[in-house]
């Protein structure tokens, strides 16, 4: 599956713990990546400093759904399911 041009859901909905150009501490889920252009394209695409998680993520029907809203909802669910549990 190819990414929908101009979607950008994964660049907003996921948390990224590694440095991103312009965001040395990464970014929390729900925060727009500083490398996401106004057209929702990655300005760091193909650059070596692009985080590994961004290079490795692949579009899939389960993650992307059929719209930006479905993609955000699916990614938020994945974030919640993989969030480390708080220590008691």
CB atoms within 10 A of CB 55: 12
Question: What is the percent of the chain where pLDDT is above 90?
Answer: 78
Distance CA 72, CA 78 (A): 10
**67 phi-psi bin (left φ>0, alpha ψ -120 to 50, beta other):** beta
Is 10's pLDDT higher than 90? yes
Quick one: pLDDT at residue 84? 80
Q: How confident is the model at residue 25 (pLDDT cuts 50, 70, 90)?
A: very high
Closest to 64 measured CA to CA, from 55, 53, 77, 80 = 77
**Could you tell me which residues are beta bridge partners of residue 20?**
23
Q: What is the mean pLDDT of residues 62-77?
A: 94
């Amino acid at each position: 599956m190819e990414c929908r041009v101009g979607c950008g859901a994964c660049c907003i909905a996921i948390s990224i713990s590694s440095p991103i150009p312009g965001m040395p501490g990464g970014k929390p889920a729900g925060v727009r990546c500083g490398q996401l252009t106004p057209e929702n394209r990655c300005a760091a695409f193909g650059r070596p400093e692009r985080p590994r998680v961004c290079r490795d993520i692949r579009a899939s029907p389960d993650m992307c759904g059929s719209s930006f809203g479905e993609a955000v909802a699916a990614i938020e669910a994945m974030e919640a399911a993989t969030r480390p549990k708080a220590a008691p």
